[in-house]
Amino acid sequence: MKDRLDLLWPSSGYSLLATDASGHLLISDAFLHFLLERPELAPIATSCAQELALHSSLCENPRQSISTSQLATLKDVDAAENYAVWLRFRDRLLAKPTLEASYLALFEGQGVDVPPILVQHITQILLQHVLGPDVTPMQARAAEMLFRTQKISILEGGTVMAADLETVERHAQTGGFGSLGELLKQGGIPTRSVDLDVLNDDESAGTYWERSERFDMVLCLNRDQAALSALCEVLGLWVRHFLNTPVRIQTAREIVDDHWVWHVGLDAQASGILNDLFTGAEVEEERLRRLLCLFTLEFEDAADMRSDIAGRSVYLAMAMDAGNRLKIKPQNLLLNLPLALRS
C-alpha cells in the first residue's frame, strides 16, 4: 500500500516541500513553480506574448523580482492583478525561514493581505505535515474542517451532520452530474440529488483514500461519535507542532467553572458567544443553539502555561453561523493560548 501521505490530498503540492532539522517545512523552487500552475495564473489560449514570457520566466526563476512596470505590460488587467497577488503571497512565504513561520506571520500586523483560497491551501499542506504517515481516514476528514467551510444539518432527533459546503452547493446545482447536470436542469429535465456518504469509523473508512480530494464524505458531530474525537486529536497535533507544547483536548458538555479564566473560539461565531458568556452578557437562545461543541484544553506541562493561571482549563468552542455554516479558523488556537513567555 502506498504511504498514506501519498494518498491524502495528492494534488496539494506537499510532496514538493522539504523539512529542516526541527521538522518544519521549507519552501522549494519546485513548490513555487507548482503554485504558478494554479488556474488563476496558468496561461490560456488568449494570453498575450508578455504574459507568456512572464510566466515562463517565473517558472524558470520563481524567486526573481518583478516590477510593477513589467506587470503593466500585460494586456489582461485581471491577469496582471493575479500576478501581483501571487507575487505578494510568494514574498510573504519567503520572508520567513519555514512555511510554519510564514503561516503565522500572515495573521500579524494589519491582518491577512492575501486571498483566503491561498491561506486555505497552505493550511491544507500544513495539516498534511502535522498529521503524518499514520493519519487515519477520520482524522483526515476532521482536518478538512480546518480549511474548508462545512454545511451543518441538524436532523430529527438531534443528530448533527457536517458536509463540505462547496460539495453540497455543487450537488444542489447539478444533481451530482457535473456539467451534464447543469444542461439537464437548463432543459427542464429533473435530476436526482446525490446522497453523500457518511464516514464511519469502520472498514468502510478505507474508501476515503481513493476520494480524499472529492471532499464528499459527511461527518456526524455528536459527542459520542468518532469524528469529534478525531478533531480533538487533530487540534492537539496542530498545537504541538507549531508551539512545541503538548496539550490534551477533549469534548465537554458545559462550562461549570467558578474560575473560568481563558477561552478560545475556533471560529468567529464561537468567539463572540464565549466572550458574551464570559462577561455575563445576555446571549439569545437562538445564538446558543448555534454552538456545536465545547472542548477543554489542558497543558500537559503546566510550565508551558502563563504562571498566573497555570493548571486552569482553557475552554474552546465551535459554532455555526445563521446560515448553518461552520468556518473554523485554526490560527486562533496558535495565536490565543495563554502561553508562558519563553527565553
Q: Is residue 103 part of a domain?
A: yes
pLDDT value of residue 156: 86
Q: Do 70 and 153 belong together in one domain?
A: no
Q: Is residue 340 part of a domain?
A: no
Q: Is the pLDDT of residue 343 over 60?
A: no
Q: Do 28 and 126 belong together in one domain?
A: yes
Q: Do 246 and 215 belong together in one domain?
A: no
Q: Which three cell numbers mark 305?
A: 502555561
Q: Do 237 and 311 belong together in one domain?
A: yes
Q: Is residue 341 part of a domain?
A: no
Q: How confident is the model at residue 341 (pLDDT cuts 50, 70, 90)?
A: confident
Q: How do strand 217-220 and strand 197-198 relate by DSSP bridges? A: parallel
Stated as kind and residue range, the H or E segment containing 269 is: helix 268-279
Cβ distance 169 to 181 under 8 Å? no
Spatial distance between the Cα atoms of 301 and 57, rounded to a whole number of angstroms: 50
Spatial distance between the Cα atoms of 126 and 98, rounded to a whole number of angstroms: 11
Q: Is residue 200 part of a domain?
A: yes
Write down which residue in 179, 199, 220 finishes a domain.
220
Q: Any idea which residue has 465545547 for its cell? A: 294
Mean pLDDT of 3-15: 90
Q: Do 237 and 298 belong together in one domain?
A: yes
Q: Do 12 and 107 belong together in one domain?
A: yes
Tens-digit pLDDT profile for residues 290-331: 999 999 999 999 999 999 999 899 999 999 999 999 999 999
Q: Is residue 57 part of a domain?
A: yes
Q: Is the pLDDT of residue 187 over 50?
A: no
pLDDT value of residue 140: 97
Mean pLDDT (the chain, rounded): 90
As beta bridge partners, residue 265 has 317
Q: Is the pLDDT of residue 87 over 60?
A: yes
Tens-digit pLDDT profile for residues 92-145: 999 999 999 999 999 987 678 889 999 999 999 999 999 999 999 999 999 999
Mean pLDDT of 222-230: 93
State the burial class of residue 214 (Cβ atoms within 10 Å of its Cβ: 0-12, 13-18, 19+).
exposed
State the burial class of residue 126 (Cβ atoms within 10 Å of its Cβ: 0-12, 13-18, 19+).
buried
State the burial class of residue 128 (Cβ atoms within 10 Å of its Cβ: 0-12, 13-18, 19+).
buried
Q: Is residue 81 part of a domain?
A: yes
Q: Do 11 and 127 belong together in one domain?
A: yes
Q: Is the pLDDT of residue 190 over 60?
A: no
Mean pLDDT of 221-234: 94
Q: Is residue 342 part of a domain?
A: no
Write down which residue in 116, 131, 146 finishes a domain.
131
Write down which residue in 197, 220, 243 finishes a domain.
220
Q: Do 72 and 149 belong together in one domain?
A: no
Number of folded domains that form the chain = 3
Q: Is the pLDDT of residue 202 over 80?
A: no
Q: Do 127 and 12 belong together in one domain?
A: yes
Q: Do 144 and 74 belong together in one domain?
A: no
Cβ distance 211 to 192 under 8 Å? no
Q: Do 192 and 244 belong together in one domain?
A: no
Q: How confident is the model at residue 2 (pLDDT cuts 50, 70, 90)?
A: low
% of the chain with per-residue pLDDT over 90: 80
Which residue segment(s) compose the domain that 311 sits in?
226-335
Q: Is residue 343 part of a domain?
A: no
Q: Is the pLDDT of residue 180 over 50?
A: no
Q: Do 8 and 121 belong together in one domain?
A: yes
pLDDT value of residue 257: 86
